[in-house]
Amino acid sequence: MSRTRWNLALAALVILALAIAITSPTCNIPRHPGWERQRLVTANILYTNNQIATVTDQLVNLDADLILVLEWTGSNLAVERLATQGYVLRADSRRPGTAGSCVLLREGIEAEFEVVASPVAGQCTMPVTTGRIKLGPHWLSVIGMHAPPPIDICGDKNAEFLGAIADWFDRGRLRHDIGSAVAADPVVLLGDLNAIPLSKKVAAFRTATPD
């Protein structure tokens, strides 16, 4: 494939990933009395992305309050452009390859974040972003992750990783504090599971996070 066609295909994949993020069921937090409504989004921008202006504009157009960005390398987004649109870079865990991430948070939202190690060791595993955001008088904890891809080189790490993350949850709450996420809070899971919704790998989340 020529370089031009490869770049076009890559840009299309990025835009498709962002389009999926717009319609993701994790975008809107649960409704509770007194809670402010905010939009939370996951966007895998691909570490090889060289359509920086296009992808940055796509993120701005999401009009989200919090964006978990996966595959953030430190150079594949126009951070200055995002700053002019009212976004602050938080939980900056830039890395080469697929393991990097960050949070883009709208200015004025009270929040705290901490990046913690993967719950499983080995090749293809990636760190996990933990956090809390203030919604009116209430706090919502956030777990943001990027599961290992289900490819031969990664072995069974996808299933092992998802199982370990699911074990953190019990009926919509965390079993214990993890990083900046607090067990007493309602919690939302964001990220790329690298698994289809009806797969056995995702089944554990249905009871662990019933909402």
d(CA 27, CA 78): 23
pLDDT at 210: 54
Sign (positive or negative) of CA dihedral 35, 162, 178, 18: negative
Rounded alpha-carbon distances, angstroms, from residue 139 to 68, 116, 181, 184? 18, 20, 10, 9
**165 and 103 Cβ atoms separated by less than 8 Å:** no
pLDDT at 57: 95
Regions of the chain short of the pLDDT cut 50? 1-34
Residue written as tokens 């919704």? 197
The whole-angstrom distance between residue 60's C-alpha and the CA centroid of its chain comes to 16
d(CA 43, CA 102): 10
**7 and 34 Cβ atoms separated by less than 8 Å:** no
Mean pLDDT of the chain: 84
Largest pairwise CA distance in the chain: 55
| Helix ranges (DSSP H) in 100-199 | 157-166
Write the pLDDT tens digit of every residue in 96-112. Answer: 999 999 999 999 999 99
* Cβ within 8 Å of residue 2, ≥6 positions away: none
**94 and 76 Cβ atoms separated by less than 8 Å:** no
CATH 3.60.10 fits 3-208, yes or no: yes
